[in-house]
Structure 1
């Protein structure tokens, strides 16, 4: 009888677990906000307008409609007591591959790089997989907006600002063309050879291989492409009859300074040459990478060029560099007066590390409020979505976090998040596996006890 009870009890536990697993494994997309919500009693970190203690924030129609210590409660509102908690704006990853990469070893699940060297018409948003498992783990870390960015070639395409909640990429997209991405040539690299590999004479019957291209030639190709795009823009403005070219058409907002150019550049020579080129082209410039940005800080500040810092937790690249070179770069740029965002690594696997990329900068001298700005309002301003996200202000989207402390600290729990007023499902695949294998341990311990 006892054996039968154990079997029936185990079956019931397994059935309950299967229901939990099913709920945990599938991240459920929630409907748009349908009634006003008042989050009451928290410490509210607005980022741009200070901190409000024992404050309330009112969400309605997906937006913030009131914030402060004494707010009017709308009729029919649902009141949520968050006393003792903290409310922060959702974090923003300024350089991300969330949604366009899934499993590194499975090529068909990765849609980052396009064929060819000049692809300004590529929009990352159309390739975003709304069912990506990385979305759940990213959101659980407090990152609610991703600047999903294509890669490869010389001009990779357009960064898309994506809200990490929705059934489809159309529903998730906040700004399809937030910035154009350029990979600046490396002057220290060996001359680049186009046309594939093979012996010096080419494959049998394939003819001679093209000659390697020098750094100067690669930069000139970039200049030529911009010149062609500018001629196309001017011809269209003059109503000349011409064939539509989607590549050149995608360049028009860049040439008109409506969106910035994000140039991937690490070394001093790359950064300096990119700044000179951007001034000549009269385009808005953002440097991404910025390993040696501190050595060009004076010019970056003088030219008002912001930086998206990546790999703030990286090891030094040179023998003579201190172990803390990357860790302390944000603090040094702050003291130099250079505006920057912190992005960390771009891989979809790593966007959940963004808070810690900013947190390590705090440990090495960056004021905490500046680190928070580097993953919120600074990123939003650089990439043209500061009217929607990046801070807690009336009129902006209700995209925020309820936490036990600063989201930049590993010990903080992100208890709940709202995206455009939606109280999102906080489940993710990592939580699923945690529950699953904790249950395994319990069952094993139970068997031992029996």
Structure 2
């Protein structure tokens, strides 16, 4: 039988309205069915009641860019499945084939209030494969995924250069050229397929790499670009314009330097991981001021952990540190809820508390962006997946 749940007396932070308000929420079939100032238990018959008196109710937190489940917890090479280093162009790879739902890091993420993540290949390759979006509870990834192919990972800057400097890449020019060549080949491959129609004899030989890139050329699957430096950000935009593709800009370490430009371009930006050492040159401008600068300029901003770079359960803490550095608190909340959901193409289901959306909640004793706030409950699809118990 489907779970029916009534959350009573909570203070609602819906990620849509800046002001919080007190209301009751009814969840049925895993979806938010009603949000009203007062709902009586008797009108719902058999229903589980969760008393949220004195508690703050938030949407489940959403991570727009990570490798959760692809890099094993407390294990080395055996669990490292986020980078394929055999060649620099691997668009045919799919994150769902490497995700491990039994990994301890997924449970820790959920208990920290992160209920939905976009996880996928790392940044070793010019083209790494597709990201998947999934909920952070379950035993089988097929049952957890809400979007199997959310974006096509591509990478610019130091990482592809470093990983392939002794093989096939030695400059940023080569990285950009390799991406352009693959996109152009895909356009030509698709044109031949369409011209052949149903005549199998005229179809081009099957190419898994180009097949994987067809949705990118058709603007059904955005490029998800690993970009830190300003020049790399501009190169990603330049190539997206040339081929008419969708684009999301991830990391954006130099974002503050070009905030007005990025606002005019209109691409979604994700900032992070910031709670780490600047371990290479292109991270030298790393700052928790960046997401606030971009939000004030008018960008759609998400905050990311890039977990396991920052443990996934500290996503809300990263948002809090952005607030400490000048970001508006409501902008910070949106950066880990509705903006992140938009960034990965699942805002019709998650990221805010609205009728018809998934019943994903974080219920806490205060603001989860403050480090000592206790999370009391986490719910995914209307079911309690975590509840705090005094030891």
1:340-376 per-residue CA deviation (whole Å, 9 max, x = no partner) reads 1000233176111111111100011111111000001
Q: Does 2:104 correspond to 1:136?
A: no
Question: CA separation of 1:140/1:266 partners in 2, compared to 1, >3 Å: closer, same or farther?
Answer: same
Preserved contact between residue 126 and residue 178 of structure 2 (Cα < 8 Å): no
Give how far 1:191 is off: 11
Question: CA separation of 1:61/1:191 partners in 2, compared to 1, >3 Å: closer, same or farther?
Answer: closer
Preserved contact between residue 66 and residue 394 of structure 1 (Cα < 8 Å): yes
1:59 to 4, 23, 27: 27
SS at match of 1:271: helix
Preserved contact between residue 67 and residue 306 of structure 2 (Cα < 8 Å): no
Q: Does 2:75 correspond to 1:117?
A: no
1:380-429 per-residue CA deviation (whole Å, 9 max, x = no partner) reads 111110011000011111011111111111111111111011211458xx
User: Which range moves more in the overlay, 99-108 or 52-61?
Assistant: 99-108
Q: Does 2:216 correspond to 1:254?
A: yes
Question: CA separation of 1:105/1:83 partners in 2, compared to 1, >3 Å: closer, same or farther?
Answer: closer
Residue matched to 1:445: none
In structure 2, stretches of 5+ residues that fail to align are: none
Preserved contact between residue 191 and residue 213 of structure 1 (Cα < 8 Å): no
Query: 2:66 & 2:160 partners in 1: Cα distance?
Result: 27
Query: 2:258 & 2:310 partners in 1: Cα distance?
Result: 31
Residue matched to 1:172: 144
Residue matched to 2:67: 97
1:347 to 304, 308, 311: 308
Give how far 1:296 is off: 1.7
Give how far 1:154 is off: 1.1
Give how far 1:91 is off: 0.4
Residue matched to 2:345: 384
Query: Which is higher, the Rg of structure 1 or of structure 2?
Result: 1
Question: CA separation of 1:318/1:77 partners in 2, compared to 1, >3 Å: closer, same or farther?
Answer: closer
Preserved contact between residue 83 and residue 121 of structure 2 (Cα < 8 Å): yes
Q: Does 2:292 correspond to 1:331?
A: yes
Q: Does 2:116 correspond to 1:149?
A: no
Q: Does 2:7 correspond to 1:36?
A: no
1:203-223 per-residue CA deviation (whole Å, 9 max, x = no partner) reads xxxxxxx7x644323321211
Query: 2:161 & 2:98 partners in 1: Cα distance?
Result: 31
Give aligned pairs, total.
381
Give how far 1:233 is off: 2.0
Q: Does 2:79 correspond to 1:106?
A: no
Question: CA separation of 1:137/1:426 partners in 2, compared to 1, >3 Å: closer, same or farther?
Answer: farther
Question: CA separation of 1:249/1:411 partners in 2, compared to 1, >3 Å: closer, same or farther?
Answer: same
1:86 to 56, 75, 86: 56
Preserved contact between residue 98 and residue 348 of structure 1 (Cα < 8 Å): no
Query: 2:20 & 2:316 partners in 1: Cα distance?
Result: 22
Question: CA separation of 1:426/1:111 partners in 2, compared to 1, >3 Å: closer, same or farther?
Answer: farther
1:307-344 per-residue CA deviation (whole Å, 9 max, x = no partner) reads 1111233456799x99x950211111122112210002
SS at match of 1:358: helix
Question: CA separation of 1:191/1:177 partners in 2, compared to 1, >3 Å: closer, same or farther?
Answer: closer
1:217 to 156, 168, 174: 174
In structure 1, stretches of 5+ residues that fail to align are: 1-32, 196-209, 436-450
Query: 2:341 & 2:244 partners in 1: Cα distance?
Result: 22
Query: 2:108 & 2:374 partners in 1: Cα distance?
Result: 13
Preserved contact between residue 67 and residue 120 of structure 2 (Cα < 8 Å): yes
SS at match of 1:134: helix
Preserved contact between residue 319 and residue 332 of structure 2 (Cα < 8 Å): yes
Give how far 1:49 is off: 3.6
SS at match of 1:326: coil
Q: TM-score normalised to the size of structure 1?
A: 0.79
Within 5 A, what are the aligned runs for 1:213-362? Answer: 213-238=170-195, 239=197, 240-315=202-277, 326-347=287-308, 350-362=311-323
Question: CA separation of 1:361/1:214 partners in 2, compared to 1, >3 Å: closer, same or farther?
Answer: closer
User: RMSD of aligned C-alpha atoms?
Assistant: 2.6
Q: TM-score normalised to the size of structure 2?
A: 0.90
Query: 1:245 & 1:187 partners in 2: Cα distance?
Result: 26
SS at match of 1:424: strand
Query: 2:309 & 2:89 partners in 1: Cα distance?
Result: 24
Question: CA separation of 1:325/1:182 partners in 2, compared to 1, >3 Å: closer, same or farther?
Answer: closer
